[in-house]
Chain A
Amino acid sequence: GLLELEETLVIQQRGVRVYDGEEKVRFDSGVLLLSTHRLIWRDQKNHECCIAIPLSQIVFIEEQAAGIGKSAKIVVHLHPASSNKEPGPFQSSKYSYIKLSFKEHGQIEFYRRLSEEITQRRWENVPGAQTMQVNKSPQAGRVRAVGIVGIERKLEEKRKETDKNISEAFEDLSKLMDKAKEMVELSKSIANKIKEKQGDITEDETVRFKSYLLSMGIANPVTRETYGSGTHYHMQLAKQLAGILQTPLEERGGIMSLTEVYCLVNRARGLELLSPEDLVNACKMLESLKLPLRLRIFDSGVMVIELQSHNEEEMVASALETVSEKGSLTADEFAKLVGMSVLLAKERLLLAEKMGHLCRDDSVEGLRFYPNLFMTQS
């Protein structure tokens, strides 16, 4: 298993078993090595036992996810062995593929690297790299199996078609971008006119203009925001959100971070997801539309949605009780006790501190909050 001069080791992984197609063989526990030229397997117990395949022999590879009691696997489909191949551990096989089972994980990274090496074909860069063989190690290989030829052909066809598609796609993309650029120029010229007129454009026209910008994804040249209140879409969205979020908010003590909301809403939608900016823009309109939720931004920059009925300052009072009972609490501890996310727990404690009810002990062991005795015992 010595490496050739130009051959470089890329990655290795212990605990790999080799299967001949679907069947277990005696290569049950070894180190799998990937080089720029070959895939090598070496028995963990007997280092003399070593098998290798040139990467050029690989047609394509597939992943097989792990299951209950089964390790994740990589399936390696092979070309039929060439006639001048040195003798290997098997004379023939009814399979045209082997499987590599990763009993100690590492399959994801290995698959990624193997894909890269197969794509990059670095073994072709080296002249005279055709003869890959080294003294002692027998080479694994497979005698011609039937299905393999058909697979090869299909892959070749697919590759050609893909290449053709891509160049056409790039051409069409360029043309499309030229047209998009015209739209950008037009919007700039309109924006300039608006600036000149200074408010001689009606409210309705402003709304229309903003919605055109939204469709194209053009930043508003007048205000420089890519978002901002005032499009009908965001207004509708705000109303929808009020409906969707009522129950989840009640279930979570009346308050949720915006990232939680983003995940919740988009997971529920499945398709036609909201962009983060859509969500923020819609939430900014909640209060003005007199909906039962509102957007709140803490000093730290953390953004939350609260029920109108939720009063964070009141929650601070109960937080103070909890902290007093325990003597002192970190954000983690408080979060666990109350059943909140650590992010929001921290914000509540910080607010309590801001209001003078708690004070902090900031050390390398963490940030801990105590009832503010300076206040109560003066």
Chain B
Amino acid sequence: MHRRGVGAGAIAKKKLAEAKYKERGTVLAEDQLAQMSKQLDMFKTNLEEFASKHKQEIRKNPQFRVQFQNMCATIGVDPLASGKGFWSEMLGVGDFYYELGVQIIEVCLALKHRNGGLITLEELHQQVLKGRGKFAQDVSQDDLLRAIKKLKVLGNGFGIIPVGGTYLIQSVPAELNMDHTVVLQLAEKKGYVTVSEIKSSLKWETERAKQVLEHLLKEGMAWLDTQAAGDPQYWLPALFTELYSQEITPEEAKEAIP
């Protein structure tokens, strides 16, 4: 009986078959890459056409930008990944956000000594608008958030912390864990928080509350007011401006106007 596959001849045949398979494999990839290259060129043309008609819309209209970004995210495309990407090159959408990134970094650096590296999105927005001047394009809070998300990769500790319906932007590499975040959220209502408030709202022990507050003090994100009546109050300078330019409620309005 003749056993199949054994012997030098069989081995040689197997190797040949493998080699042919490899060849075919490479050819397959080459084909697909060539196809992608062609489709890419076509897409580039489509994008150029779109840009020639609607480039201004992206620059001027924050709503349109949001739509654009959301659609990109849905299909799995990041138009801001690289300045060399088509989106950036042809729509100029990259320059808009990367420049915004620079402005955000500068504002955060300028105010860091005051707020320890924590700032509300509102205040950041105001300051950035101020810096951009009268003739610059309108920038929305959504734009700021997207720019900040991109800045994270630079390793400077940029972070976005949700508090009471808005956000605190962190711009220093200070470690803020869940405990810290939760206390910040608690403090957001009045701009300050006390140990007893933390204990009653969050059901923590004194030690845990104190640790969190001391960490915030050390980082310069909280200031201590020991002269307050009752418990010492831990204030967040990041929330100061928010308190001053607060929207006025109808009740307050009735009192304010004779």
Known interface pairs A166-B64, A176-B50; A11-B245 also in contact (CB < 8 Å): yes
Known interface pairs A9-B250, A205-B33, A263-B105; A277-B153 also in contact (CB < 8 Å): yes
Give the distance to chain A from B134, nearest Cβ to Cβ, in Å.
5
User: How many chain A residues touch the partner (CB < 8 A)?
Assistant: 84
A181 at the interface (CB under 8 A from B): yes
| A47 and B256 alpha carbons, distance in the complex (Å) | 12
Q: Which B residues lie within 8 Å of A363 (CB)?
A: 218
Nearest residue, chain B, Cβ from A35: B253
| A293 and B61 alpha carbons, distance in the complex (Å) | 41
Chain B residues proximal to chain A, CB less than 8 Å = 22, 25-26, 28-30, 32-33, 35-37, 39-40, 42-44, 46-47, 50, 53-54, 57, 61, 64, 67-68, 71-72, 74-89, 94-95, 98-99, 101-102, 105-106, 112, 126, 129-130, 133-134, 150-157, 172-173, 214, 217-218, 220, 224, 245, 247-248, 250, 252-254, 256-258
| B-contacting 9-mer, from A122-130, A194-202, A320-328 | A194-202
| A285 and B68 alpha carbons, distance in the complex (Å) | 32
Are A262 and B102 neighbours in the complex by a CB distance under 8 Å?
A: yes
Give the distance to chain B from A66, nearest Cβ to Cβ, in Å.
10
| A278 and B84 alpha carbons, distance in the complex (Å) | 8
Are B86 and A280 neighbours in the complex by a CB distance under 8 Å?
A: no
Q: Which A residues lie within 8 Å of B53 (CB)?
A: 168-169, 172
| A172 and B84 alpha carbons, distance in the complex (Å) | 23
Are A11 and B248 neighbours in the complex by a CB distance under 8 Å?
A: yes
Q: Which A residues lie within 8 Å of B37 (CB)?
A: 208, 212
| A12 and B245 alpha carbons, distance in the complex (Å) | 9
Q: Which A residues lie within 8 Å of B33 (CB)?
A: 190, 205, 208-209, 212
| A139 and B99 alpha carbons, distance in the complex (Å) | 45
Task: Name the 4 nearest CB pairs between A and B, nearest first.
Answer: A303-B155, A9-B253, A273-B98, A181-B75
Q: Which one of B28, B81, B245 has the highest number of Cβ atoms from chain A below 10 Å of its Cβ?
A: B81
Are B29 and A179 neighbours in the complex by a CB distance under 8 Å?
A: no
| A372 and B105 alpha carbons, distance in the complex (Å) | 35
Nearest residue, chain B, Cβ from A42: B257
| A277 and B78 alpha carbons, distance in the complex (Å) | 11
A2 at the interface (CB under 8 A from B): yes
| A177 and B77 alpha carbons, distance in the complex (Å) | 10
A29 at the interface (CB under 8 A from B): no
Are B75 and A172 neighbours in the complex by a CB distance under 8 Å?
A: no
Given contacts A181-B75, A190-B33, A217-B79, 5 further A-B contacts (CB under 8 A): A184-B76, A219-B81, A227-B81, A273-B94, A300-B173
Are B50 and A214 neighbours in the complex by a CB distance under 8 Å?
A: no
Are B247 and A302 neighbours in the complex by a CB distance under 8 Å?
A: no
Contact flags A150-171 to B (C-beta < 8 A → 1, else 0): 0000000000000001101110
A308 at the interface (CB under 8 A from B): no
Q: Which A residues lie within 8 Å of B79 (CB)?
A: 217
Q: Which A residues lie within 8 Å of B256 (CB)?
A: 9, 12
Are B29 and A273 neighbours in the complex by a CB distance under 8 Å?
A: no
A313 at the interface (CB under 8 A from B): no
A183 at the interface (CB under 8 A from B): yes
| A366 and B113 alpha carbons, distance in the complex (Å) | 13
Give the distance to chain A from B251, nearest Cβ to Cβ, in Å.
10
| A357 and B167 alpha carbons, distance in the complex (Å) | 40
Q: Which A residues lie within 8 Å of B98 (CB)?
A: 266, 273-276
| A271 and B133 alpha carbons, distance in the complex (Å) | 18
Give the distance to chain B from A235, nearest Cβ to Cβ, in Å.
12
Are B64 and A169 neighbours in the complex by a CB distance under 8 Å?
A: yes
Known interface pairs A8-B250, A10-B248; A275-B81 also in contact (CB < 8 Å): yes
Known interface pairs A201-B29, A276-B150, A297-B155; A217-B36 also in contact (CB < 8 Å): no
Nearest residue, chain B, Cβ from A1: B257
Q: Which one of B98, B106, B250 has the highest number of Cβ atoms from chain A below 10 Å of its Cβ?
A: B98
Residue among A33, A64, A173 making CB contact with B67, cutoff 8 Å: A173
